Homo-oligomer: A and B are copies of this chain.
Amino acid sequence: MKALHDKIAKEGLVVSDQILKVDSFINHQVDPEFIMEIGQAFANHFGGQNITKVVTIEASGIHLAFATALKLGVPFVYAKKKKALTQTGGVYSAPVYSFTRQESYHLTVSKDYLSAEDRILVIDDFLATGVALRGLRDIILQAGATLVGVGIVIEKSFQPGRKELEAEGVQIHSLARIQSMSEDGILYVSDEATL
């Protein structure tokens, strides 16, 4: 997605060869108009596949899922990293180890909001190791729902997330795919321009 590449070039900051900081427009301060463009890009790609619900993970996926769900005309659900007091009914749950936070947590979704009839589009900001997304996939399977695809804003293609999810049959659409990065710049996966 050219607008995303341009925005990363203008505002992104390569902190290390592993960490790209995009918190001026995606995951701390947010540019709502730009996020609506991202939602439109996901809606364009997945729009013909009878999506009934968008699912993401709190907190940094919420506005991305919101924009996509608004464009698709469906509700969205955000998986929680802790069980809330108001989750009084049963939940689907999956354990996840966060490399970023260096801690384990349980993703949960109330059983009320996923059903076997649902056709799910998962949206998230980053794909790196893919462990959180694999947890979310487990939850969707527990509900008997169909995981139609995964939409990612920025993929770290040098990490194993895409490969491992694809090995499980998951269709992934990433708006930017980073091959490698350093203080000299960012190299995108070569077929990126065609996405």
Contact = CB atoms under 8 A, between A and B. Distances in A.
A86 B30 CA distance: 15
A109 to B, nearest CB: 8
B80 A110 contact: no
Interface string A85-126: 111100000000000110000000110110000000000000
B19 A86 contact: yes
Contact of A23 (B67, B70, B86): B86
Contacts of A100: 84-85
Interface stretch (A32-40, A129-137, A154-162, A168-176): A32-40
Contacts of A86: 15, 19, 21, 23, 27-28
A42 interface: no
Given A62-B59, A66-B66, A78-B59, A29 B85 contact: no
Interface string A22-59: 01110111111101100000000000000000000011
A164 B60 CA distance: 31
A82 interface: yes
A8 interface: no
A35 to B, nearest CB: 7
A73 B33 CA distance: 8
Nearest to A18: B85
A131 B25 CA distance: 28
Contact of A63 (B19, B62, B82): B62
A121 B17 CA distance: 36
B28 A84 contact: yes
A31 B69 CA distance: 9
A150 interface: no
Closest 6 CB pairs of A and B: A59-B59, A58-B59, A32-B70, A62-B62, A29-B113, A21-B86
